[in-house]
Amino acid sequence: MVTRAQPRRSAAAALARHASDPAALLLLVLLPLVVQSGFVLRVLSLSWLDAILAMGVVVSYGYAGIPNMSQGTLYGVGAYAVANLMSNSGFSFLLSAVIGAVIAAAIGGLLGATALRVRGNYWWLVTIAFTQVMFIVFNSWTAVTGGEGGFIGIPLARIGGMTLQSFRSFYYLGLAALAIVYVVYRRVCRSRVGSAMIAVRSDETAARGLGISPGAIKIASMVLAGFGAGIAGACLDSITGYIDAQTFSLTFSFNMMLFAIVGGIASLRGAIIASVALTYVTTEVTSLVNYQFFIFGGTVLVALLVRLYLGGRSPVTELRRRWRRARGAGDATVEEPAVEVVAE
């Protein structure tokens, strides 16, 4: 009885895992057909970009163990690069987005190279210092960034002969960018590179013994984080048509770190859910905007206390584990331990 039940349960679990992402994407694609509010669609469009940035933190910090407080800066590098390419050089949106992502990835790689020289808490200081220096650059380099007045007059994006100028088109642009980056990050995290990142985060000495280069892995993780930030920056140009240095401040990078922590520091899906939920709530309820720090800080505190109670496990992972156990307990023909092993 047990041997026959296990394959069916395993197949069902595998089908559920593979179908969950397409089903969620389908629901999000259909959402604008129900939601007609331009304000809500704009907020969701920007929340998709926040989710991309939070996933970059998950890759660099959650997997490779590099505290990344410069995600907002890489976001700005991509945004300003794309804005200049479209406004001053006449490049198309897609070409500018690719170049912007490459530039942001390169800057991320250079920043990751500094991780080879520092350890522990010093890396936090390096990324914070880099963010602060780049904020001054963004705010002062008038010829490239527009200075304190910001970069205005960014052309509308055109894709396939269609100009993106409606709230619905902005929504789909951000969602498409999120889907692309999610697929890339997910494949990387589930590949040997992702396993190498976890090994480096856990023990660099042991990773070297396995033939893994910690330096290359750290740089690769920051390159991936910069890649996603560059794509998000390109979408920001199209959605807002205006950018300034305040958008890419240390506070913004701090928020992206909070989103990743709340969602589960090694969970891409968790980062998306936390980013969208917290961004939407604090923006939709305008009376809460001035209390963002209290909301985010309180949420992080609760999340950390819950993880401490669960022995370090993610609340989402624990709920899934208990749900699977409950399903297994309802099947009298299958022993619970066997079901857990198959489900995992």
Q: What is the tens place of the pLDDT at every residue in 255-298? A: 898 889 888 888 899 899 989 888 877 776 555 555 555 666 66
The closest alpha carbon to 228, from 62, 110, 56, belongs to 56
Question: DSSP state, 61?
Answer: I
The closest alpha carbon to 188, from 175, 201, 200, 198, belongs to 198
67 in a domain, yes or no? Answer: yes
Tokens of 176: 């498409």
pLDDT higher at 115 or 84 = 84
Positions of E strands within 167-279: 242-243
* pLDDT for the residue numbered 55: 95
Supply the range of the domain harboring residue 138. 38-247
* pLDDT for the residue numbered 17: 54
80 in a domain, yes or no? Answer: yes
Q: Can you tell me which residue has the tokens 């350890």?
A: 119
End-to-end CA separation in angstroms for the chain: 20
Rounded Cα distance, 229 and 231, in Å: 5
* pLDDT for the residue numbered 291: 59
For the cut 60, the answer to whether the pLDDT of residue 325 exceeds it is: yes
* pLDDT for the residue numbered 205: 86
pLDDT tens digits along 167-195:
999 999 999 999 999 999 999 999 999 99
For the cut 70, the answer to whether the pLDDT of residue 80 exceeds it is: yes
Confidence of residue 312 (pLDDT cuts 50, 70, 90): low
Q: Which amino acid is at 286?
A: T
* pLDDT for the residue numbered 74: 96
pLDDT tens digits along 109-141:
999 888 777 777 788 888 899 999 999 999 999
CB burial string 132-161: b at 16+ within 10 A, e below:
eebbebbbeeeeebbeeebbeebbebebee
151 in a domain, yes or no? Answer: yes
290 in a domain, yes or no? Answer: no
* pLDDT for the residue numbered 342: 30
Q: Provide the total of helices (H) and of strands (E) in the chain, helices listed first.
A: 15, 4
* pLDDT for the residue numbered 335: 34
pLDDT tens digits along 12-61:
444 445 557 788 888 888 888 888 888 889 999 999 999 999 999 999 99
- Cβ of 122: how many Cβ atoms within 10 Å? 12
* pLDDT for the residue numbered 89: 87
Rounded Cα distance, 215 and 63, in Å: 14
Tokens of 80: 């300003």
155 in a domain, yes or no? Answer: yes
Rounded Cα distance, 151 and 144, in Å: 8
Q: Give the dihedral of Cα atoms 174, 179, 185, 188; nearest 10 deg.
A: -150
The closest alpha carbon to 105, from 277, 228, 244, belongs to 228
For the cut 50, the answer to whether the pLDDT of residue 8 exceeds it is: no
Residue 164 CA: distances (Å) to CA of 52, 80, 100, 228: 20, 19, 19, 21
162 in a domain, yes or no? Answer: yes
CB of 230 within 8 A of CB of 78?
yes
* pLDDT for the residue numbered 234: 95
Which helix H or strand E contains 262, and what residues bound it? helix 250-263
Q: Region 211-232: what's the mean pLDDT?
A: 93
261 in a domain, yes or no? Answer: no
What is the average pLDDT score of the chain? 81
Q: How many domains does the chain have?
A: 1
- Of 63-72, 272-281, 302-311, least confident by mean pLDDT is 302-311
264 in a domain, yes or no? Answer: no
